[in-house]
Amino acid sequence: MNQGQKVFPAPREPLGYEQVTALSASTGLTVPAGARLAVIHVQTQAVRWRDDGGAPTSTVGMPLAIDDIFLYVGDLAAIRFIEGTPTAVLNVSYYN
């Protein structure tokens, strides 16, 4: 496998995409009906996330670095993100 190449489990059906750019406060995702998996790419600045009902802050939560690709399977309505530095962007693809 080439350096930087990513391999993902084969989801059954793509359900949507969104780009999240307003991350200065704790922000959730806009999850399409039936989505069970999100592929999340962190672009521009690092972010933090939580999925336990609490809100992440710029210093509290699980960190994701620039260019991380995160596969999240869980309660997609519960996960929340915040940027550590302004201008963070999330690219999110949803699958069933």
Are 96 and 13 in contact by the 8 Å Cβ rule? The answer is: yes
State the total domains in the chain: 1
Alpha-carbon span 85 to 82, nearest angstrom: 9
Residue 7 belongs to some domain of the structure: no
Residue 9 belongs to some domain of the structure: no
pLDDT tens by residue, 54-89: 999 999 999 999 999 999 999 999 999 999 999 999
Does the pLDDT value for residue 22 go beyond 70?
yes
For the entire predicted model, the pTM comes to: 0.87
For 59, left (φ over 0), alpha (ψ -120 to 50), or beta? Answer: alpha
Average pLDDT, the chain: 92
- What is the band of 42 on the pLDDT scale with cuts at 50, 70, 90? very high
CATH number at 31 reads 2.60.120.770
Residue 8 belongs to some domain of the structure: no
